[in-house]
A and B are shown apart, each in its own frame.
Chain A
Amino acid sequence: MSTRRATLANEQKKPTTNAGLWLDKFVRHQAEEDKNSRRDLVRDVSDIPVPEEYARWFERWRRVLNDYGAKCRVAEVLGRMAVGLGEESVLETSVALHHTYGVPYIPGSALKGLAASFTRQYLGEEWRPGTDAFRIVFGDRDNAGHVIFFDALPLPGSKLIYPDVITVHHEDYYQKADAPPADWDDPNPVPFPSASGKYMVALAGPDPWVKAAFDILEHALLNLGVGAKTSSGYGRLRLEPDPFVANTDREKADRLIGQIQALRTSEVAGRIQAFYEQWRKLGVSSVHKRRIAEAIVAKVKEAGREKKSLDKDWYKELLESLR
């Protein structure tokens, strides 16, 4: 039996099904113990290709943003991203899918929230909430900010959604405050869709403030991450350099090394692998590639995680490159 409407019980997903619709309304069965239903649902959603028409729409979107005077920069997900977890959904965990086209995206509100949060936590005096700078970019209770954070939509062409699982340990511990966690609790894998790919971040407003907001986002996306599960390394994106600004290999490497060195010990476990991903993809000369690899290895050692990392493929690859 299915918990769908009887008339829809036997519907299969089609190549042109709206992925968000399928995710929201077409799970076969809601019962918690029916793990297969949710696993199949997530697999179905990841198998639905990006609609053909999306590429056409995206071209229009890019043109309209440009005509509006927005500035666009591409951000690439390092690993996976799970924005939108926590909204009302039968899956309890889900990913934000574009209402009309069903592709994953990063809501403008999430980008704005992330940038504001980074600003409050890490920027100095001149960016404190209440300062003009903060007010101009983010606004306050009485006035809207002057910078528009548009939804970041994916560049067409690649696979974007992947099946993923969250493993919830110690379920009882979270549900009954009086039961201490015990080792014999089974890990409980919960399937959910996560996203990857390249997204077009678009901001509009007065030039210097848009530039500042991009700088903030660049650091926040890489270091804090957007969406859910950021403590497990999800939601890290590398903002590609402004295409109009020349960028030497040394600058690219320096920037990355600076970020690696700035990691706190407690952050290393969750985030160092994302830097490896970047290192792997970064097209810079071998001298600079080596410098970055050294910085990552040094950070791993500094955090006392060398022993734990030695059997990891990515770590081996880094060491290999330094031979």
Chain B
Amino acid sequence: MRTRNQEYAAQIFEQVTQVSEEERKKYGSLAHRLPVLIRTAGLAQALAFVDARGKEPGKRLLNDLATVLRFEDKDKLLERSRQAELPEYMCLTRDVLGALAWYKRFAQSVLGVDAGA
């Protein structure tokens, strides 16, 4: 998990640098909020929430996450989060949280978006 986690980093850095000027604030702020939202709402509901309410930057973050976790697109990731049985659901949650730690870090360093923004 730890090594896979570091593999994420390069790819996520690449994705975050591609975020457009107008999307950076919302994208960055979602990267900060999503991990805690996953704790409160659970993976399936948290992803669905961002998909339903996060507008374009939210969808972009989900698609980026999906790519890193080797899903075709966000819809496949969301579907998996609903359909997965318990052991896979827990693994998927950990993988998403692991990747999000990097998004959160790069939101700060690359996008210049702090928590609470």
Q: Does A16 contact B (CB under 8 A)?
A: no
Q: Does A24 contact B (CB under 8 A)?
A: yes
Contact B49 A5 (CB under 8 A): no
CA distance A88 to B49 in the complex (A): 11
Min CB gap B26→A, angstroms: 12
CB-based A-B contact count at 8 angstroms:
53
CA distance A238 to B15 in the complex (A): 53
Q: Does A25 contact B (CB under 8 A)?
A: yes
Contact B40 A32 (CB under 8 A): no
Question: CB-CB < 8 A to A31: which residues of B?
Answer: 52
The answer to whether residues A30 and B82 also contact, given A3-B44, A24-B41, A25-B45 and a CB cut-off of 8 A, is no
Contact A25 B42 (CB under 8 A): yes
CA distance A5 to B42 in the complex (A): 9
The answer to whether residues A88 and B40 also contact, given A5-B89, A27-B45 and a CB cut-off of 8 A, is yes
Question: CB-CB < 8 A to A90: which residues of B?
Answer: 37, 40-41, 45-46, 49
Q: Does B94 contact A (CB under 8 A)?
A: no
How many residues belonging to A are interface residues under a CB distance threshold of 8 Å? 17
**CB within 8 A of A30: which of B36, B39, B53?**
B53
Contact A3 B83 (CB under 8 A): no
Question: CB-CB < 8 A to B46: which residues of A?
Answer: 90
**CB within 8 A of B52: which of A30, A87, A88, A89?**
A30
Contact A25 B53 (CB under 8 A): no
**CB within 8 A of A89: which of B41, B81, B85?**
B41
Contact B40 A5 (CB under 8 A): no
Question: CB-CB < 8 A to A32: which residues of B?
Answer: 52-53
Question: CB-CB < 8 A to B37: which residues of A?
Answer: 88-90
**CB within 8 A of A3: which of B33, B39, B40, B82?**
B82
- Can you list, as one digit per residue, whether each of B94-112 has a CB less than 8 Å from chain A (1) or not (0)? 0000000000000000000
Q: Does B64 contact A (CB under 8 A)?
A: no
Contact A25 B83 (CB under 8 A): no
Closest 4 CB pairs of A and B: A3-B48, A30-B48, A30-B52, A88-B36
Report which A residues bind B (CB closer than 8 A).
3-7, 24-25, 27, 29-32, 87-90, 92
Report which B residues bind A (CB closer than 8 A).
33, 36-37, 39-42, 44-46, 48-49, 51-53, 81-85, 89
Some 13 contacts from A to B, beta carbons below 8 A apart, are A4-B44, A6-B82, A25-B40, A29-B48, A30-B48, A30-B49, A30-B51, A32-B52, A88-B41, A90-B45, A90-B46, A90-B49, A92-B53
